[in-house]
Structure 1
């Protein structure tokens, strides 16, 4: 298991998926792509690239973090500040420790949670192009109180869904510019076309889907599948599965993570599906790979 610093020396940090296997991040609640994390960074992190694979809300409890978008727009978040980041953004984060460690909550919203929320609020949703990347709601006291109310010992999906609905309504209530709901409904934008081989070498590909890779490479799904098969003589879906199972085998051999933790770290929502795929590939179950102490 690595720290965020160690992981990002050679990988783009794909959130939330990569966070499950980070030493300096605690999982408070989790179901499917919805999750609430608490991170505590003691080490300086500069020029850290990350990709929002799921809409994300960040609340800074202590310390200061600077986020930069692809247009070099910057956002400085100090203690009590919050930001909502839509899905599909490539961003850069900088944290330099001055007096406090960086302690922050990160919340991610599954599509089902967002659909449930949007079905209860009024449209139409029109997004101002100038506000596509960041949305900064006021209300540090309200958000601090919300996170203080989280009961991490309650792990049912229903409880997590209720808390996420509460948070979404709270953010919208603090939205003076009326852009938050529009950002939730915004689809991922296609970036400029990128070199396929280079992107696959630098990205944390194990935490991305085929559609995510196509988006980041600036291709439609059909052209990405075609270009990928031409270069690698297999489908991207098959290539990703092979990479994930190989990495899972290494993680299990290290004996630091449980089978469930490895499955989540590799992006499997269903542990049984992970066990089945692993046994089909290696002829043994994940549990049989773990060394005995």
Structure 2
């Protein structure tokens, strides 16, 4: 199951600050560690207050601990926590949309026409002013304040200004500019990398840095086929290979191929191949 931040339902000890249209921040408190794959639906800045946050990649793991902040671009990450004995994992997460970052950079004359690519995430130590900001921001959770949306928008601007006034200004600026003004990612790379993740066309468009309309147009131009049809065909073809060459359950194969809704998988499999997954497997066994 692929969890989605920050739109997923909060856990027991989580609190969220949000307006009617967007989430601003999340406070997370966990007593036990767990590992999960999450789709970060908006660019996220994470202050680690206690414990350690781990980002797992194929060949390495990056760690942020108390006194660090981690900036993550929108994307899919495998994450876990390390919780020393006697403490809890505690973190503050703040969310930034593309539009917010572009407007911020335009407002402060920080635009560029040559944004260099940067890694998917950035980890830097906090400063005294950033730690002070973190503690002040936590006070807004659970409060009812008139004009809170406007206040929180200004607080996010304050945070970015503090980062750009700190010792890692150039790293932070390059990171923000790559988000706001970088070239859209290659469609073939995005689609093939995430083909078997349960992502919608809308989510793939967002990952590629395109509007839904632009993504559909560019996809059609590249593959000569609408994205939903092409993606389903690829997933179903892989599912059929697994059905005919493994003993995995139909539900397990569906999930492995990016279908979280098992009845939907069975229905479109039958539409594509004229038989149900179990019947298709049986026919292969007879042959």
Length-normalised TM-score, structure 2: 0.62
1:149 equivalent to 2:136? Answer yes
1:58 equivalent among 46, 49, 67? 46
Change (3 A) 1:109 1:96: same
In the alignment, is the contact (CA less than 8 A) between 1:35 and 1:108 conserved in 2? yes
In the alignment, is the contact (CA less than 8 A) between 1:33 and 1:54 conserved in 2? no
1:40 equivalent to 2:35? Answer no
User: Secondary structure of 2:226's partner?
Assistant: helix
What aligned pairs does 1:169-184 form with structure 2 within 5 A after superposition? Answer: 169-176=161-168, 178-184=170-176
Quote how far apart the aligned CAs of 1:31 are.
5.5
Change (3 A) 1:31 1:232: same
Equivalence for 2:216: 221
Change (3 A) 1:156 1:168: same
Equivalence for 1:78: 65
Quote how far apart the aligned CAs of 1:37 are.
0.6
* In 1: Cα distance, 2:175 partner to 2:127 partner: 21
Equivalence for 2:267: none
Gaps of 5+ in 2: 234-260, 262-287
The number of residues matched between the two structures is: 213
Equivalence for 1:262: none
Change (3 A) 1:121 1:41: same
Quote how far apart the aligned CAs of 1:25 are.
2.0
Change (3 A) 1:211 1:156: same
Equivalence for 2:78: 92
Quote how far apart the aligned CAs of 1:181 are.
2.3
User: Secondary structure of 1:98's partner?
Assistant: coil
In the alignment, is the contact (CA less than 8 A) between 2:190 and 2:204 conserved in 1? no
Deviations 1:36-75 (A, max 9, x none): 11001222212x2122221110000111121134x63432
Equivalence for 2:6: 16
Higher Rg: 2
In the alignment, is the contact (CA less than 8 A) between 1:56 and 1:108 conserved in 2? yes
Equivalence for 2:185: 189
User: Secondary structure of 2:122's partner?
Assistant: coil
Quote how far apart the aligned CAs of 1:214 are.
6.9
User: Secondary structure of 1:72's partner?
Assistant: coil
In the alignment, is the contact (CA less than 8 A) between 1:214 and 1:221 conserved in 2? no
In the alignment, is the contact (CA less than 8 A) between 1:52 and 1:90 conserved in 2? yes
Quote how far apart the aligned CAs of 1:142 are.
2.2
Gaps of 5+ in 1: 1-9, 234-245, 247-293
Deviations 1:72-113 (A, max 9, x none): 3432111121011123x3222121332221100000013332
Equivalence for 1:270: none
